[in-house]
A and B are shown apart, each in its own frame.
Chain A
Amino acid sequence: MKHRRLLVLAGVVGAVALVTSLSVAAASSDKPARTHQAAAIAAPKVPNAAAIKKKYGGQKITFVGDSVGNGHVRDVALAKRFSKDTGIKVTVNPHPAASDQSYSQLARAFSSKSSSIDVAMIDVVWPGAFAPYLVNLKPKLGKQSKLHAAGIVQNDTIGGKLVAMPWFGDYGILYYRTDLLKKYNYKAPPTTWNQLFAMAKKIQDGEQKTNSNFAGFVFQGNSYEGLTCNALEWIASAGGGHMIDNGKATINNAKAATILDAIRAQVGKTTPRGVTSYQEDQTEHAFDSGDAAFARNWPYQYGIGAGAGSKVKGKFSVTTLPHGAAGKPVGTVGGWQLAVSKFSKHKDAAIEFVRYMTSPAVEKFDAITNSNVPTIPSVAKDKAVVKANPYLKPAIASVARVTRPAKFLGTHYNEASKVIYQGINQILNGTPAKNVLPGVQSKLNQILK
């Protein structure tokens, strides 16, 4: 009798725990409706598949791939096609969503000389840090690299070695609700930050009457790498420099302080108070659920917003980000490359995978299904690609690009970026810029020494 009761109790506890964890897991995977977009087009076939299969068929490689938006779905589709055609089995592991944590994951693997990673997605600011641990791709992929934009190939070449192949580009753009602009009698999207704030306030005040979750402007404000990208856009577009210029930290200047304080003033007003925990996925979710008038995000959000399951399908468009009174519109260079680990046990098979993923056909596939910016200029001009990605039109695509100061920092980039994004996050959370920027600047100068 006693034992039976005990078993019943154990069952109750187990059941409750199981239900809780399942509902938590289910809540995070509401993706099915949105993945139809990626499956709409078939993954391109692998050129030269028979020859590759003869040489490397049967080998297994691990690819640390995308986790933001529909990136993982795309990776799995491409990996499946590659495995089917060449017999090389590819296991896709999505990396942590925050770029700085993804850096830590790779740093741990490389420092322990682990062979568990064969191909990895490398952020545009990491080639300098990881160069000693990556295979030189020039011998085998040098010819293919000539198809890609020269600037990115240069970024990925360290000490004469091509340590990574460009895969997709990225730059910050402004998403805006065309229907709401019309509703509140605005003829065009804002061109200056003050215009954006004013429009966001008017639209938010109107929309909050029916939707209490509505916010005027959302962006990435969490204490992570993405905030460095957002902050660089604010500061550079306001004429405040590029955080580090000519090897010296310049972030502590009046124009930077002004724009940062202006954004800080919006937090809790036209931007949700919780924006300081937002990363790309939260921004995209807020905008695509119809809860925001303006959003700053990377181009990948376009495909999701225009796809099935989005509440703003057909109701939004993109343009360049606003600028300060004394500046011009800019977009931070993002983008990802593919690299092969020096400790991989199947380097050649991994290189074949990278060759496939960075080929024009796959970049076109990625651009159409995932709205990622191709790094091959001929693909970026393709009619079908431009149709699916309006931000590739010259008016927006020719926006001035600003790069994060990775070239001055090498292996210390992650540390320096942390100083920046922690400081900016502090400002967004309520501390005036003039109290934070001097400390950030002196710490950056110490790292640069």
Chain B
Amino acid sequence: MSSVATPAPAPRRRRRRRTKLQRRQTKLAWLLLLPALAIVALVAIYPLGKTVYQSFTDQQFLAGITPTKWVGLDNYSTIWHDPAWKHAVILTLKFTVITVTFEFVLGLIIALVVNSSFKGRGVMRAVMLVPWAIPTVVAAQMWKWMLDDTFGVVNDFGVRTHVLSHSQAWISNPSTSLGAVCAVDIWKTTPFVALLLLAGLQVIPKDLYEAADVDGASKLQQFWRITLPLLKPAILVTLIFRTLDALRVFDIFAVFFGNRLDTQTMAIYIQSAIVGDGNVGLGAAASVFMFLIIALFVVIYVTFMRVNEE
């Protein structure tokens, strides 16, 4: 049914052909995406929607035969006025800032070191991944025993070498508990950050450095002017990963502190409300709050990335 070619507007004819093909391709694209979208809707959108719905009810975990009723914004108001929730948010933010900063700096240093060639580099790269390879719960329990104030090796070693005056209760003492849990998380996740940054470093062409050497640039200048700018995409990806993971932290706090009030992160608060107290509605409302906080960080990062790309 194609129109006869006329010497008249050739561009118009080209555009019409592109539109038909474009439409066909778009339809095919949607058909191919449909299964994946259906799965995402079932696994991600439906639970999210259900959580939001439950946050407006007084759903109980062990409801039995008691009917659930709509309570509007009551749950949100309770959470908003709960000092324990505020404390949990602040603690999670503190934890995120401390761990992401340290992991980034240390990870970058490690990545730079492992990127250069030296004998045994391959073995070094493998060994540095070991902390990250251990399951988080296992690593947390391991460190909990090591930091114990009665039989822990850290205290034993510290006291013997006179670095510590006496055994410290790193985990029990409120003034050192955040430091202890941050240190263990940094130990565990720095290799992951180093790995992501290493991948970014390896894409930077070596001749840039050679040219810089010829031009007489110092190593520090090379780092600031060549490495960092070209590493920006990898840095951004790493920071997004780590920030979101840190905001959702649960297992390491659960193993170290269990149900302690002053060390509740947002995720622990929610789990405790839902399964411990049986208050599903309240937990759902807190989940929505947590979702919004994380979404805020995502928006910040994505905006930064988009601004960066221009």
Contacts and interface: CB of A to CB of B under 8 A. Distances in A.
Contacts of B62: 107, 110-111, 129-130, 132-133, 411
A234 B169 CA distance: 24
Interface of B: 60-65, 122-123, 125-127, 129-130, 133-135, 138, 141-142, 144-145, 148-151, 167-169, 171-174, 257-262, 272, 275-279
A423 B262 CA distance: 10
Nearest to A106: B62
Given A100-B276, A425-B260, A411 B60 contact: yes
Nearest to A214: B150
Given A10-B126, A421-B259, 6 more contacts: A13-B129, A21-B134, A108-B275, A132-B62, A273-B172, A414-B276
Of the listed residues B145, B260, B279, the one surrounded by the most CB atoms of chain A closer than 10 A to its CB is B260
Contact of B172 (A103, A412, A423, A429): A429
A21 B258 CA distance: 22
Interface of A: 5-6, 9-10, 12-13, 16-17, 20-21, 24, 27-28, 98, 100-101, 103-104, 107-108, 110-111, 129-130, 132-133, 213, 215, 222-224, 268, 272-277, 286, 291, 411-412, 414-415, 418, 421-423, 425-426, 429-430
B261 to A, nearest CB: 4
Nearest to B280: A111
A418 B276 contact: yes
B262 to A, nearest CB: 7
A100 B173 CA distance: 23
Given A100-B276, A414-B276, A426-B262, A273 B169 contact: yes
B149 A272 contact: yes
Of the listed residues B144, B259, B260, the one surrounded by the most CB atoms of chain A closer than 10 A to its CB is B259
A411 B278 CA distance: 8
A107 B279 CA distance: 12
A277 B260 CA distance: 9
A104 B259 contact: no
Contacts of B173: 273, 429
A277 B276 contact: no
B127 A12 contact: yes
Contacts of B167: 273
B277 A223 contact: no
A422 B65 CA distance: 30
Contact of A274 (B60, B148, B278): B148
B123 A426 contact: no
B260 A111 contact: no
Contacts of B174: 429-430
Contacts of B65: 132
A98 B127 CA distance: 36
A422 B133 contact: no
A415 B122 contact: no
Contacts of A421: 259
Contact of B130 (A13, A223, A415, A426): A13
Contacts of A111: 61-63
Contacts of A20: 130, 134, 138, 142
Interface of A is mostly: helix
A343 to B, nearest CB: 13
A273 B173 CA distance: 8
A223 B260 contact: yes
17 contacts: A9-B123, A10-B126, A17-B133, A20-B130, A20-B142, A27-B145, A28-B141, A98-B258, A222-B258, A223-B257, A268-B169, A286-B150, A411-B278, A415-B276, A418-B277, A426-B262, A430-B174
A277 B181 CA distance: 14
B97 to A, nearest CB: 24
B193 to A, nearest CB: 18
Nearest to B144: A277
Contacts of B129: 13
A110 B148 CA distance: 36
A273 B172 CA distance: 7
Nearest to B174: A429
A272 B258 contact: no
A414 B274 CA distance: 12
A203 to B, nearest CB: 17
B252 to A, nearest CB: 15
A269 B134 CA distance: 36
Contacts of A100: 259, 276
Nearest to A425: B260
Contacts of A98: 258
- What 5 pairs across the A-B complex have the smallest Cβ distances? A273-B169, A9-B126, A415-B277, A422-B261, A132-B64
B259 A418 contact: yes
A85 B16 CA distance: 83
Contacts of B135: 21
Contacts of A12: 123, 126-127
Contacts of A9: 122-123, 125-126
Contact of A275 (B122, B172, B259): B172
Given A223-B258, A426-B262, A16 B276 contact: no
Contacts of B259: 100, 223-224, 418, 421-422
A224 B258 contact: yes
Nearest to B64: A132
A356 to B, nearest CB: 29
A429 B257 CA distance: 12
A276 B276 contact: no
